[in-house]
């Protein structure tokens, strides 16, 4: 009698469709943030648990959580929810003292920093510093994705492209 086929092993990792972070998959039913994988959503929730719990007594914790929410929403866009992305970019711009970037037709092709990077550095850098740096990186990634093509002149200075893109 032939042996029953073995079930397919679970993947060792999964890539988040929003930010591209490669994480171990989570077990069980985990409600994913729109545009994110369940493992990325879980990492975000766990990483921001402290500021959310402290929010009722600490204005700094509220600011950190709001900035993280905006960075996460901007990094996990959903085509069917353009207002969520617009609101996130506007909130990042306000928090960082800049105008929201011109939104390109799609998200950046790569992200400088993700929630996985924030979580990885928690043991050596304060969360509020990490969230601020992450938010700035997400904002800059969107700004670069929406910026016109640029060239450098012969001295290596950034100059507008003369080649029409």
- Output the tens digit of pLDDT for each of the chain's 165 residues: 667 776 666 668 999 999 999 999 988 777 789 999 999 999 999 999 999 999 889 999 999 999 999 999 999 999 899 999 999 999 999 999 998 877 677 899 999 999 999 999 999 999 999 999 999 999 999 998 876 544 333 334 444 333 233
CA 71/CA 117 separation, integer angstroms:
13
pLDDT at 6: 67
For residue 154, tell me if it sits in a domain.
no
Residue 93 lies in a domain: yes
Of the candidates 106, 104, 101, 105, the one whose C-alpha atom is nearest the C-alpha of residue 89 is 101
SS3 65: helix
E strand or H helix at 151? strand 150-152
- Euclidean distance between CA atoms 44 and 73, whole angstroms: 11
pLDDT of residue 148: 53
Residue 41 is part of which domain span? 14-149
Domain membership of residue 76 (yes or no) is: yes
Question: Would you call 92 helix, strand, or coil by DSSP?
Answer: helix
Is 8 inside a domain boundary? no
CA-CA distance, 160 to 112, in Å (whole number)?
A: 23
- Asked if 25 contacts 11 with a C-beta cutoff of 8 angstroms, the reply is yes
For residue 57, tell me if it sits in a domain: yes
Q: Within a domain: residue 94?
A: yes
Residue 58 falls inside a structural domain: yes
For residue 150, what pLDDT is reported? 42
User: How many independent structural domains does the chain possess?
Assistant: 1
Residue 140 Cα distances to 54, 71, 98, 103, 120, angstroms: 29, 11, 10, 12, 21
User: At residue 6, what are phi and psi to the nearest 5 degrees?
Assistant: -75, 145
How far is Cα 165 from Cα 161, in angstroms, rounded to an integer?
A: 7
Q: How far apart are CA 163 and CA 165, in angstroms?
A: 6
Tell whether pTM > 0.75: yes
């Amino acid at each position: 009698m032939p042996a029953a086929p073995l079930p397919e092993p679970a993947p060792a990792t999964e890539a988040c469709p929003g930010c591209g972070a490669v994480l171990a998959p989570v077990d069980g039913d985990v409600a994913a943030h729109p545009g994110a994988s369940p493992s990325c959503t879980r990492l975000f929730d766990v990483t921001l648990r402290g500021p959310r719990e402290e929010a009722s007594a600490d204005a700094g914790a509220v600011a950190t959580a709001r900035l993280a929410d905006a960075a996460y929403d901007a990094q996990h866009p959903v085509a069917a929810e353009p207002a969520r992305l617009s609101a996130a970019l506007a909130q990042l711009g306000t928090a960082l003292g800049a105008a929201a970037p011109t939104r390109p037709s799609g998200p950046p092709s790569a992200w400088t920093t993700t929630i996985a990077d924030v979580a990885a550095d928690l043991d050596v850098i304060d969360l509020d510093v990490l969230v601020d740096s992450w938010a700035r990186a997400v904002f800059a990634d969107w700004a670069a994705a929406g910026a016109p093509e640029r060239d450098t002149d012969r001295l290596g200075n950034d100059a507008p492209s003369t080649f029409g893109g």
